[in-house]
Chain A
Amino acid sequence: VTYRVLLTEDIHPAGRELLAASASVRVARGVDSDTLREELRDVDAVVLRARGRLGRDLLSAGSRLRVVGRYGVGVDNVDVDAATALGIAVVNVPAASAVSVAEHAMGCLLALARQLLAADDAVRTGNWERRHALPGREMQGLVLGIVGMGHVGRELARIAHLGFGMTILYHDLQPDPAVESAFQAEPLELHELLERSDAVSVHVPLHPKTRNLLDRDALQHMKPSAYLLNIARGGIVDEEALVETLRSGRLAGAALDVFSHEPPRSDDQVMDCPRLLLTPHIGALTEEAHQRVSRSVAEDVLRVLRGEQPRHPVHPPRRVDTLNEA
């Protein structure tokens, strides 16, 4: 038997080659619902990247479909309940990209604190004297609030505390004694964390309870001198409220790697917002993370197809209110 595997978008060769050794693999012609419905008709497995959404009707359209492999952590673009009801397994890759994402978060925070875009502009345009108007902020001694202490949160806490000497606060419904002892992290309610932090980074999955978790009200609890990072999922930070807060000078800066609509349209409000750093959902896209994610999802998809137990099955959430991504 040769399995048929659909890739919604091409994946790193490490995993593609693993799949191709025991299945016929093809890349979908598009990620819109109509194309995917057509493409899913004759496949045993699908590997889903960030774009495209597998809701109940698309999952039902795949009459031979036995497994959905998420190329990454978040399963917000798969209806896991529907898949489970239809007997379709969902697998993901929980930890493989945590280091890369945490590094990206720290990189964005430093780029904001050192005004790298404006500084680079000053040199390129021959505006040397602007150097006096580009004060930097030191991280040492600042307070970093981490919302969601999962794999990424822990890596970020390590870098920020052990490297930069930052004080770590965190918000999660599940306490994490390990980070409390390793990085002196202090657990807090969300609003108190926002009030005390000089920088806030969100690392929770997107689900109904976390949508707009950082809404207008939450943003008003932040210090005007603080920075906000969303390298997790678009929709967790209310973009309209964020743009308004930045425009009115009630926040020092923010970085978004993820957006409620990806890619953002050219007339999107985030596009010309001041003090906002934008990257195109690349936090996890390093060669190292790519390789590990690709191999892991391919191995798990093949396990399900062969009737074996997958290593990273995703079950419908037991506690819908959990913030922890792990």
Chain B
Amino acid sequence: MAGDAHPSACAGAPEAAVVAVPESWASEPAVLALNGAGVHTVLYGQDFRQERATLAQAHGIACDGALPTELLAALPSTRVISFDGTGVWDFVDVDEAARRGITICNIRDYGSVAVAEHTMALILALAKRVTAWDGCVRCGQWNHGEPHTAVQLRGRTLGLVGLGSVGSEVARLATAFGFELIYWSRHANRARERGLSVTRTTLDVLLRRADVISLHLLLTAESACTIGRRELALMKAGALLVNTARGGLIDQEALAEALTVGTLGGVALDVWDPEPPPSPHPLAHLDRSKVILTPHVAASTAEARSAAIQGCVRNILAYLAGKPTNVVHPHASARAEPR
């Protein structure tokens, strides 16, 4: 497999290596450091048909988006591909890469703070309806002091589906707001529970009890459609649902139904299935007081970006030095682990 196919020419001699990185990373400190380390860096653009020659000579490829599966067959020198995020399975054919002796690496925990803060921004935007009210003020629609113009968060229950690095960061933020915290994941995480004062429940209990539900799972065969028609029906009337993890965790059709004919209070989505979502999106006509849509930007902060690029480059250097890190195994996506 990938590890066995490790090229002896590169082991212990990274200065001979050619590493291809996206051209938009040209001035990143991590990439400049790569040059400094004696690695020969080449830049590639988004049009892969034009980049075949460049990529064919690369021993390692850093990638920031989808790599076409047929491209993998045209990479005779490539031994390692490192993805600048966690969910590499959606962007690179990991099984095909393994068949061709290419090791795939991803990075973890690089954007936990960024994603958790975006999650909290969406929870608050739904609860306080800030984006909706902005439109109202500009159209001359002033509030007349009715209750329910906003929801107070203190004392409400937040249900976290998944308690990985993002989920536990959200738990930390939510504690400061005075949320009651419950979570569900397939495997209990006692260490995190103790540090965060969160209680594990079953998914059904969580859905029935939570005022706000936030998803923090990896997308796997098991976790796909974790929130379907049945789960949406279990939620409290007026509950708020936030997804900054992966679009495929929610049954999109059932969601649209729950928002239009059901009693779901509101939904905020940063992730889509597929991406980009079809335009016009079936939820796009719904009012901002119920629906907030962002284009997969939860991890788009300067801090998260530089951490991601650094982690991605570090994986390639580690592999070339014969000590691979963050290797993604084929079929690893079938193991359900919270992100």
A171 located at the interface, meaning its Cβ lies under 8 Å from any Cβ of chain B in the complex: no
CB of B176 within 8 A of CB of A162, answer yes
When chains A and B are docked, how far (Å) is the Cα of A125 from the Cα of B153? Answer: 31
When chains A and B are docked, how far (Å) is the Cα of A131 from the Cα of B174? Answer: 26
CB of A123 within 8 A of CB of B128, answer no
Chain B's nearest CB lies how many Å from the CB of A258?
11
Chain A's nearest CB lies how many Å from the CB of B122?
8
Max count, chain B CB within 10 A of own CB: residue among A11, A122, A164, A280: A280
B109-141 Cβ-contact flags toward A at 8 Å (1 or 0): 000011001101110110111110110111011
A111 located at the interface, meaning its Cβ lies under 8 Å from any Cβ of chain B in the complex: yes
Besides A99-B152, A100-B150, A116-B130, 18 more A-B contacts (Cβ < 8 Å) are A10-B145, A104-B128, A108-B130, A111-B125, A122-B295, A124-B281, A128-B275, A137-B302, A138-B304, A163-B177, A255-B130, A263-B142, A279-B134, A282-B128, A285-B149, A286-B150, A286-B151, A288-B155
Q: Give the nearest-CB partner of A281 in chain B.
A: B143
* Among B124, B154, B176, contact of A107 (Cβ-Cβ < 8 Å): B124
CB of B128 within 8 A of CB of A163, answer no
CB of B140 within 8 A of CB of A266, answer yes
CB of A164 within 8 A of CB of B294, answer no
* Among A128, A140, A264, A288, contact of B137 (Cβ-Cβ < 8 Å): A264
CB of A280 within 8 A of CB of B143, answer yes
* Among A50, A123, A158, contact of B294 (Cβ-Cβ < 8 Å): A123
CB of A135 within 8 A of CB of B142, answer no
**Given contacts A114-B297, A122-B295, is CB(A107)–CB(B128) below 8 Å?**
yes
A308 located at the interface, meaning its Cβ lies under 8 Å from any Cβ of chain B in the complex: no
Q: Give the nearest-CB partner of A290 in chain B.
A: B147
A251-275 Cβ-contact flags toward B at 8 Å (1 or 0): 0000100000011101000011000
CB of B131 within 8 A of CB of A131, answer no
The 6 closest A-B pairs by CB, nearest first: A163-B176, A126-B279, A107-B124, A110-B121, A128-B276, A263-B142
5 interchain pairs, CB-CB under 8 A: A122-B295, A162-B175, A271-B138, A279-B133, A285-B147
B249-277 Cβ-contact flags toward A at 8 Å (1 or 0): 00000000000000000000000000111
Chain B's nearest CB lies how many Å from the CB of A132?
8
Residues of A contacting B276 in the complex (Cβ-Cβ under 8 angstroms): 128
Residues of B contacting A291 in the complex (Cβ-Cβ under 8 angstroms): 147
CB of B152 within 8 A of CB of A287, answer yes
A119 located at the interface, meaning its Cβ lies under 8 Å from any Cβ of chain B in the complex: yes
CB of A134 within 8 A of CB of B124, answer no
A302 located at the interface, meaning its Cβ lies under 8 Å from any Cβ of chain B in the complex: no
Residues of B contacting A266 in the complex (Cβ-Cβ under 8 angstroms): 140
When chains A and B are docked, how far (Å) is the Cα of A199 from the Cα of B302? Answer: 18
A289 located at the interface, meaning its Cβ lies under 8 Å from any Cβ of chain B in the complex: yes
CB of A136 within 8 A of CB of B152, answer no
A139 located at the interface, meaning its Cβ lies under 8 Å from any Cβ of chain B in the complex: yes
Chain B's nearest CB lies how many Å from the CB of A139?
6
When chains A and B are docked, how far (Å) is the Cα of A285 from the Cα of B117? Answer: 24
**Given contacts A100-B150, A138-B303, is CB(A279)–CB(B130) below 8 Å?**
yes
Residues of B contacting A114 in the complex (Cβ-Cβ under 8 angstroms): 117-118, 121, 294, 297
Q: Give the nearest-CB partner of A155 in chain B.
A: B154
Chain B's nearest CB lies how many Å from the CB of A165?
9
When chains A and B are docked, how far (Å) is the Cα of A263 from the Cα of B124? Answer: 23
Contacting B at CB under 8 A, from A277-305, are 277-283, 285-291
When chains A and B are docked, how far (Å) is the Cα of A164 from the Cα of B176? Answer: 8
Q: Give the nearest-CB partner of B284 in chain A.
A: A124
* Among A134, A163, A264, A288, contact of B297 (Cβ-Cβ < 8 Å): A134
A34 located at the interface, meaning its Cβ lies under 8 Å from any Cβ of chain B in the complex: no
Q: Give the nearest-CB partner of B24 in chain A.
A: A132
Count class of interface residues, chain B = 35 or more
Count class of interface residues, chain A = 35 or more
Residues of B contacting A264 in the complex (Cβ-Cβ under 8 angstroms): 137
Q: Give the nearest-CB partner of A115 in chain B.
A: B297
**Given contacts A110-B120, A123-B295, A288-B155, is CB(A263)–CB(B150) below 8 Å?**
no
When chains A and B are docked, how far (Å) is the Cα of A117 from the Cα of B149? Answer: 19
Max count, chain A CB within 10 A of own CB: residue among B152, B155, B292, B298: B152
**Given contacts A107-B130, A119-B295, A123-B294, is CB(A262)–CB(B113) below 8 Å?**
no
B108 located at the interface, meaning its Cβ lies under 8 Å from any Cβ of chain A in the complex: no
When chains A and B are docked, how far (Å) is the Cα of A283 from the Cα of B133? Answer: 11
Chain A's nearest CB lies how many Å from the CB of B267?
12
Q: Give the nearest-CB partner of A9 in chain B.
A: B145
Chain A's nearest CB lies how many Å from the CB of B244?
11
Residues of A contacting B293 in the complex (Cβ-Cβ under 8 angstroms): 119-120, 123-124
CB of A136 within 8 A of CB of B300, answer yes
Q: Give the nearest-CB partner of A279 in chain B.
A: B133
CB of B295 within 8 A of CB of A287, answer no
**Given contacts A281-B143, A285-B147, is CB(A111)–CB(B131) below 8 Å?**
yes
* Among B153, B277, B304, contact of A123 (Cβ-Cβ < 8 Å): B277
Q: Give the nearest-CB partner of B269 in chain A.
A: A123
* Among A11, A106, A280, contact of B124 (Cβ-Cβ < 8 Å): A106
CB of B281 within 8 A of CB of A123, answer yes
CB of B294 within 8 A of CB of A120, answer yes
B296 located at the interface, meaning its Cβ lies under 8 Å from any Cβ of chain A in the complex: yes
Residues of A contacting B339 in the complex (Cβ-Cβ under 8 angstroms): none
B19-32 Cβ-contact flags toward A at 8 Å (1 or 0): 00000000000000
Chain A's nearest CB lies how many Å from the CB of B12?
38
* Among B143, B145, B275, B301, contact of A137 (Cβ-Cβ < 8 Å): B301
